[in-house]
Structure 1
Amino acid sequence: MVRMSAEDRRESVVRAAMSEFAHGGYSGTSTEAIAKRVGVSQPYLFRLFPGKRAIFLSAVERCMAEMCQVFEEASRGLEGEEALHAMAAAYTRIIDEQPERLMMQMQTYVAVAAAEAAGDHEFGETVRAAWMRLWETVHLSLGADVDETTVFMAYGMLINTLVSMGFPAGHRVWEGFYTSAQRPAPQ
């Protein structure tokens, strides 16, 4: 049996944490559940990370970094509307194929709101910095056009909300997202 390095084990913890936090949120996820998913003890988990907060923030960083990578790859070599449509298509694939990424994003926003309400502004600063890297990635991919960036991010947040609430494809709430040529057939 091959032993994993501490760095490989950290990677396993971050991946497991993304899944656990996506489903249970920050408050509803125990470090015990993360440790169990990875197959390590809680004491070992805390040798890798100083606490639950550090695990969550590492998961947030990873989630946002992966989204940046998706948008960078989708828009590489493209400009304007081509870049916009390529990033939108890539994001749609992520939502369809890896819904936990979307749920991790949504749980992140909830966790920041709760921390801010409790007076913990440092937590939000860390998450906002990660989100700003995502915003910058989109912004640069769209030719540094602030209006296009705002519209893209606004549509993305609306999509996140509608998907999180479980609106199925073909529901009328999705009609405004398509031109008549792109509108899917009713289901």
Structure 2
Amino acid sequence: MSPRMSADQRREQVIEAAMAEFAGGGYEGTSTAAIAQRVGVSQPYLFRLFPSKHALFLAAAERCFDALEQAMRDAAGGLYGGEAITAMGRRYREILAGDPTMLRFQLQIYAAALVDGEVKRIGNRRWGQLWRTISELSGEDAAEVMRFISVGMLLNVLTAFDVPYVPGEKLPASLDAWAREVRE
């Protein structure tokens, strides 16, 4: 028998489960029953931790951004300039390759933001925070931060559509070669 968890520990576990469930089904397609079942708690207990499905989705969105920001901090780890940018880019590619839940949930957050003002506000605030973090960690100017984030968003699309690519300086040429070969 496992030891009893505190409400805070269980709350963390529920957020992680919610990220995985929302990643697969989106906000509308995910039931709180599925999240509760994944964690092994009752639905009424889940609602003691989070007052609504919406509150849980917002907490999961915050956690997703927290994880992205922490991954960038860990990757930069004392590096600066181009070395920090390269390390953060490498880490993001590792996340995309190793954790499909993270990308799927990011895409669900973007979709929800189109119809949900609270999700949009969180996304707006957290994208600004992520931009500042990348800028501060790398010391790079706005144009380089924009390039870095733009490539990251492109990698999201490439990963979602399973487009083969070579990272780094060879990315444009590898995409051009792929685009010229792909046919219906």
Range into which the TM-score falls when normalised by the shorter chain: 0.7 to 0.9
Q: Where does 1:1-187 land on structure 2 (aligned, <5 Å)?
A: 1=1, 2-115=3-116, 121-167=117-163, 169=164, 174=165, 177-180=167-170
Shift of 1:131: 2.5
Shift of 1:130: 2.2
Separation (CA, whole Å) in 2 of partners of 1:123 and 1:18: 14
CA contact (8 A) 1:10 1:48 kept: yes
Separation (CA, whole Å) in 1 of partners of 2:63 and 2:140: 24
Determine what percentage of the aligned residue pairs are the same residue: 45
Separation (CA, whole Å) in 2 of partners of 1:81 and 1:63: 25
Q: Which residue in 2 is equivalent to 1:118?
A: none
CA contact (8 A) 1:35 1:42 kept: yes
- Aligned amino acid, residue 62 of structure 1: R
- Aligned amino acid, residue 153 of structure 2: M
Shift of 1:138: 1.1
Q: TM-score, normalised by structure 2?
A: 0.87
Q: Which residue in 1 is equivalent to 2:182?
A: none
Q: TM-score, normalised by structure 1?
A: 0.86
Separation (CA, whole Å) in 2 of partners of 1:50 and 1:131: 26
Deviation larger for 126-135 or 156-165: 126-135
SS in 1 for 2:18: helix
Cα RMSD of the aligned pairs, angstroms, is 2.2
Separation (CA, whole Å) in 2 of partners of 1:13 and 1:123: 19
Per-residue CA distance 1:116-137 (angstroms, 9 max, x = gap): xxxxx23311232222222221
CA contact (8 A) 2:109 2:119 kept: no
- Aligned amino acid, residue 153 of structure 1: I
CA contact (8 A) 1:65 1:134 kept: no
Per-residue CA distance 1:126-174 (angstroms, 9 max, x = gap): 232222222221121221511111001111111111211232x3xxxx3
CA contact (8 A) 2:81 2:140 kept: no
Separation (CA, whole Å) in 2 of partners of 1:79 and 1:111: 35
Task: Write out the 4+ residue segments of structure 1 that deviate beyond 3 Å after TM superposition.
Answer: none
Query: How many equivalent residue pairs?
Result: 175
